[in-house]
Amino acid sequence: MRTATVAVPRASMIDDDVVLTVTGLNVDLRTPKGVLRAVNDVSFEALSGRTLALLGESGCGKSMTAKALAGLLDPVADVTGGTVVLGGTDLAALTAKERLAYAGPELGIVFQDALTALNPVYTVGTQLGEAFRIHEGLSAKAAKVKAIELMGRVGIPEPESRVDSFPHQFSGGMRQRILIAMAVALNPRLLIADEPTTALDVTVQAQIMKLLRDLRTDSHMAVVLITHDLALVAEEADTVAVMYAGNVVETGPVKEVFGAPHHPYTRGLLDSVPADVGRGQDLTSIAGSPPELHRIPDGCVYQSRCPLVQDICRAVRPALEPDGAQRAVACHFSEELAHV
Amino acid sequence: MSDTTPPVPLLEVRELTKNFHVPGRGNNVLCALDKITLQVGRGETLGLVGESGCGKSTLARTLLMLERPDGGSIRFDGTDPFALTGKDLLAWRRRVQMVFQDPFASLNARMTAGEIISEPWSTHTTLYPSKKAREGRLRELLQIVGLRPSDAGKSPQEFSGGQRQRIGIARALALDPDVIVLDEPVSALDLSVQAQVLNLLNDLQHRLGVAYIFISHDLSVVRHVADRVAVMYLGRIIETGTTEQVFDRPRHPYTAALMSASPRLDVSDTTPRNRIVLEGEMPSPLDPPSGCRFRTRCWKAQDICATDAPPATGSTDNPEHIAECHFPLLPIPVTDLFARRS
């Protein structure tokens, strides 16, 4: 079994190792309206000790991508193409059992809503200890000791007395810490955080993001942060992949992409943020709303809202092409946008 | 407007208090609003900022007379709405309207957009008495909020989130109110759509002169829309002033922490940010700390903060910039503040 080797902290690991490589990932949904493509040809890499942000609005496929990586897709959703290589192993090639044994310890996921993600009828200690019982074969007693240790590690005060409490007895921020503790219990190489702070107040968000940063630094995890919050991406992520209607439309280092966006959608998003615009002045908004999945047009996915749209955009979908050393963009007119 | 005579505020709230009785153990009085004092002028936007449980929605509900306060007074255009009855009360209710947070839950799925927007007129029958007047006004309202007249026959589920919020805004405008309370009006919307709705609200205020009480947890949104800001913590307004005063030179440590905690988009600013990360979470409103309510999380707290509730004091250069703190921060730009803390 592979599990015997993965639980030790990877002290030897260094930053900037490729931990996760996603290539050409497709996810299809079987719906009454037919088979819909929710995630289309999505590719990205996540590096150890770094944060990659998947950024997009609701329905863009970012959470579906995360669920596909974690093997948690709904029964109506199928991965129909692409490879997901985590630490050198293609997850798609594993059976369900092998996947559990391998990816369980290697990949942790934190969900948005901690109250629904936790089981209300088990104590947090039981839920935190589960990973150790299953993957390390520890006894319930030994697992509880580990659970207390973990609770301390994620900053829950008085873990010894809190370990036997139930999820509803914790505040929102503390529940999110418990969820994070579960995700990092076995020192995963990859942590997926799906809108981890969206349900939290801003001062608590700051605490949780600091915890994630500290954990990432300590254990050299790769973090995939899924969010719709541009400012959070600007502060927390090293690289960003901007998603729209199931496709990655632009990707690269956050500083470069946000500093000078080369896709009109990225530009539109940045302009929509009420930041530096004077009070009372109009924001530059993006006209219309994203297409529904069964109405995604041929050609460019962004054509219906794009100010630069031309005939070629309606006919040919632009591929995600390299754009400089570290960036890639899917737009026929990215050159023009780059020089505006 | 001359500087010598301050305009009479449209809405004046003094020492408004609201307690809830919670059945169960221990101290069962929850003080949701503790002596709230604020003013809103005509055509002005007051931003109400604070974290969940701070009392901002209770304040909104009390201003709409959906809750009866336990103390203090509300003066709307000089009259106390809680003293009104019958026709006078109905006439008052027309003038204060609300837009809700969730555009999916706040519209009746069994009614058409047109029915939703026109429904208030069946209570306030004198406003647009004839069928013709109502039809004309409905068309006008749809147009004002950026929908098509033909949209009147559609049901809410045929619209996107942004369009639904436009319907909610049209419904609030149907009675030609003087004040609209907006409770997190854009937080359920995607960023690109949020900008459209914010632009619409801004445009409507210019055209109609309506005042907004804008409740939001999103500081960048509040900064964009508000003329003045009130920051709430555990049922109290702990700081108030113009948007520039509160955002750029916060005096209360909690305000500073709130500003510091909200992420910033600016990637060109490469100076490392030393954030104020507050410890802990907001205490239970059932058992608020003695003295200053923020002292349990405050890095400046001294003995006096536990014994004496801090008085509301104006800043030396701006008496209108009020904070409740024994040790208010110096009026320094917020960027310096970040640089000095670790």
Burial of residue A48 (CB within 10 Å: 0-12, 13-18, 19+) is buried
Query: What token pair was written down for A305?
Result: 């809202």
Closest-CA residue of chain A to B147: A288
Amino acid identity, residue B311?
A: P
CB proximity list for B82: less than 8 A, separation 6 or greater:
B65, B68, B69, B74
Query: What token pair was written down for B224?
Result: 């964009």
Q: Please write the tens of the pLDDT for every residue from B292-336.
A: 999 999 999 999 999 999 999 998 888 899 999 999 987 655 555
CB-based contact A173 B160, cutoff 8 Å: no
B192, B196, B282: residue with CB nearest A57: B192
Contacts of B279 in chain A (CB under 8 A): 207
Contacts of B193 in chain A (CB under 8 A): 285, 289
**Interface size between A and B, measured as CB pairs under 8 A:** 124
Residue pair B286/B296 in contact (Cβ under 8 Å)? The answer is: no
Give the whole-angstrom CA distance, residue B98 versus residue B178: 11
CB-based contact A229 B202, cutoff 8 Å: no
For the CA atoms of chain B, what is the radius of gyration? 21
Task: Say if the ipTM goes beyond 0.85.
Answer: no
Closest-CA residue of chain B to A171: B281
Residue to test with chain B: of A279, A284, A292, A305, most B Cβ within 10 A: A279
Question: Going residue by residue through chain A (340 aa), what tens digit of pLDDT does each one get?
Answer: 333 333 344 434 678 899 999 999 999 999 888 899 999 999 999 999 999 999 999 889 999 999 999 988 999 999 999 999 999 899 988 888 898 888 888 999 998 888 889 999 999 999 999 999 999 999 999 999 999 999 999 999 899 999 999 999 998 889 999 999 999 999 999 999 999 998 888 888 999 999 999 999 999 999 999 999 999 999 999 999 999 999 999 999 999 999 999 999 999 999 888 865 566 678 888 888 888 888 888 999 999 999 999 999 999 999 999 998 899 999 999 888 877 6
CB-based contact B192 A273, cutoff 8 Å: no
Closest-CA residue of chain A to B270: A255
Q: Please state the rounded mean pLDDT for residues B45-69.
A: 92
Closest CA to B161 of B188, B180, B201: B188
Calculate the dihedral angle through the C-alpha atoms of A252, A256, A262, A266, rounding to the nearest 10 degrees. Answer: 80
Predicted local confidence at residue A340, as pLDDT: 64
B320 phi, psi to nearest 5 deg: -80, -15
Burial track B38-58 (b if 16+ CB lie within 10 A, e otherwise): bbbbeebbbbbbbbebbbbbb
**DSSP output for B15-33:** EEEEEEEPPSSS--EEEEE
Predicted local confidence at residue A335, as pLDDT: 86
Residue pair A53/A121 in contact (Cβ under 8 Å)? The answer is: no
Does residue B112 surpass a pLDDT of 50? Answer: yes
Under DSSP, the state recorded for A133 is H
Within a 10 A sphere around the Cβ of A325, how many other Cβ atoms?
8
Give the whole-angstrom CA distance, residue A320 versus residue A299: 13
Give the whole-angstrom CA distance, residue A140 versus residue A92: 32
Q: Please state the rounded mean pLDDT for residues B152-176.
A: 93
CB proximity list for A11: less than 8 A, separation 6 or greater:
none
Predicted local confidence at residue A7, as pLDDT: 39
Closest CA to B221 of A274, A200, A268, A202: A274
Closest-CA residue of chain A to B197: A285
Expressed in angstroms, the distance from the first to the final Cα of chain A is 56
Give the whole-angstrom CA distance, residue B215 versus residue A128: 37
CB-based contact A285 B190, cutoff 8 Å: no
Burial of residue B92 (CB within 10 Å: 0-12, 13-18, 19+) is middle
Confidence of residue B43 (pLDDT cuts 50, 70, 90): very high
The residue with tokens 């007047």 is: B133
Within a 10 A sphere around the Cβ of A295, how many other Cβ atoms?
11
Q: What is the pTM of this model?
A: 0.86
CB-based contact A283 B258, cutoff 8 Å: no
CB-based contact A274 B195, cutoff 8 Å: yes
Does residue B281 surpass a pLDDT of 50? Answer: yes
Give the whole-angstrom CA distance, residue A129 versus residue A136: 10
C-alpha to C-alpha distances, B330 to A203, B248, B258, B316, B325, nearest whole angstrom? 22, 12, 17, 10, 12
Q: Please state the rounded mean pLDDT for residues B91-107.
A: 91
CB proximity list for B192: less than 8 A, separation 6 or greater:
A57, A268, A269, A272, A285, A286, A289, A305
Predicted local confidence at residue B7, as pLDDT: 63
- For helices A140-153 and A172-184, angle between their N-to-C axes, nearest 10 degrees: 120
Closest CA to A241 of A49, A43, A38, A50: A43
A304 phi, psi to nearest 5 deg: -70, -15
The residue with tokens 């992420």 is: B263
Closest CA to A302 of A256, A326, A333: A333
C-alpha to C-alpha distances, B179 to A259, B45, B61, B210, nearest whole angstrom? 40, 9, 13, 6
